[in-house]
């Protein structure tokens, strides 16, 4: 029963949030969004998808040549699948890559874990600097998580008895990560750069959305939002990228309900923008592939 609820985590989350916003008379604010800014956010989101596509190609190149638009399609499927069914993106990608490129599902799962570690290491330090003055308890919570992440990432030999709380699945992924770390670490420079760009662009989307809702929010605070939302993606504790990060943001702004409602709207807007951008990218990749097939014939 719990697993079925988690699969539909995004949809359940959106329904509950829409009900909350409707009864608070804030739902109508969604229709006040600036369409020029919305279009710009979609362009930036597509750029993020292209960066993620190149990050995936860096790994897939280890197994042979591949087509950029083919990997763009796979990357878009990941985002679309996760939006509808939680956790289905990696599984869908794994099956496609196994059938088309002969990449073992286990190896792609380890690569996805490797990317999650890198994104967490890149995204978290700015949040720690900001949290020092906002909430000392959340600061130490995130600091502990960051220390664990760095330990898993850089340690050549891990004592898994310390990580029983992560469950059997993540423990097995960590073991496989240790086995492949020498190969994966060759990709680190390019992946760190890709996720740094991803971080800046994701923060920019939040900043532009705040402008659209006429909220004067510092760009550095948008770093914080992106960092906190990224926490759930790594730990898989709740609904993947719905849960812990949003909950922490809620705690930070709980005393200001008006701002909290706007932040909820912006998080919803960002997720729908990314979903729409993924659909656009997927459609574009299909059209390009069909055009290439037509030329070959």
Q: pLDDT by residue (tens digit) across 202-211?
A: 999 999 998 8
pLDDT digits (tens, 9 = 90+) for 47-87: 999 999 999 888 888 877 778 888 898 888 888 877 766 55
251-261 per-residue burial string, b: 16 or more CB within 10 A, e: under 16: ebbeeeeeebb
Pair of tokens at residue 233: 């993606």
Please state, in angstroms and as integers, the Cα–Cα distance from residue 84 to each residue in 13, 75, 142, 190, 242, following that order: 11, 15, 28, 30, 12
Q: Say if residue 35's pLDDT is above 80.
A: yes
Angle at 110 between CA 105 and CA 112, to 5 degrees: 95
55-71 per-residue burial string, b: 16 or more CB within 10 A, e: under 16: bbbbbbeeeeebeebbb
**Please, what is the average pLDDT of the chain?**
77
Band (45; pLDDT cuts 50, 70, 90)? very high
Are residues 78 and 93 in contact, defined by beta-carbon separation less than 8 angstroms? yes
**Structure confidence at residue 293 (pLDDT):** 59
Closest alpha carbon to 275 in 82, 53, 43: 82
**Structure confidence at residue 49 (pLDDT):** 94
**Structure confidence at residue 247 (pLDDT):** 62
Which one is predicted more confidently, 158 or 271? 271
Burial (CB < 10 A; 0-12, 13-18, 19+), residue 93, is buried
pLDDT digits (tens, 9 = 90+) for 249-263: 666 665 665 677 777
Which one is predicted more confidently, 75 or 173? 75
Model-level pTM?
0.81
Over residues 282-292, mean pLDDT: 83
Q: Say if residue 5's pLDDT is above 60.
A: no
Angle at 189 between CA 46 and CA 282, to 5 degrees: 20
**Structure confidence at residue 40 (pLDDT):** 95
Band (123; pLDDT cuts 50, 70, 90)? confident
């Amino acid at each position: 029963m719990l697993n079925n609820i988690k699969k539909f985590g995004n949809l359940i989350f959106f329904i509950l949030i829409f009900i909350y916003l409707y009864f608070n008379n804030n739902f109508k604010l969604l229709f006040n969004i600036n369409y020029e800014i919305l279009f710009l956010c979609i362009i930036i989101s597509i750029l993020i998808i292209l960066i993620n596509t190149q990050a995936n190609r860096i790994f897939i190149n280890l197994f042979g040549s591949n087509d950029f638009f083919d990997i763009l399609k796979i990357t878009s499927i990941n985002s679309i699948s996760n939006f509808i069914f939680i956790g289905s993106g990696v599984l869908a990608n794994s099956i496609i890559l196994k059938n088309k490129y002969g990449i073992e599902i286990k190896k792609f799962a380890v690569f996805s874990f490797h990317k999650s570690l890198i994104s967490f290491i890149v995204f978290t330090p700015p949040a720690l600097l900001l949290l020092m003055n906002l909430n000392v308890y959340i600061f130490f919570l995130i600091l502990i998580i960051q220390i664990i992440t760095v330990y898993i990432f850089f340690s050549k030999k891990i004592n898994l008895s310390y990580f029983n709380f992560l469950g059997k699945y993540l423990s097995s992924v960590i073991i496989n990560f240790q086995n492949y770390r020498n190969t994966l670490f060759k990709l680190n420079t390019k992946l760190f750069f890709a996720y740094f760009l991803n971080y800046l662009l994701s923060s920019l989307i939040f900043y532009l959305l705040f402008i659209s809702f006429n909220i004067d929010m510092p760009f550095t605070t948008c770093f914080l939002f992106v960092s906190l939302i990224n926490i759930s993606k790594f730990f898989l504790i709740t609904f993947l990228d719905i849960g812990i990060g949003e909950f922490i943001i809620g705690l930070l702004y709980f005393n200001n309900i008006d701002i909290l409602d706007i932040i909820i709207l912006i998080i919803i807007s960002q997720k729908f923008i990314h979903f729409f951008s993924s659909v656009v990218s997927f459609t574009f990749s299909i059209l390009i592939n069909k055009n290439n097939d037509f030329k070959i014939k």
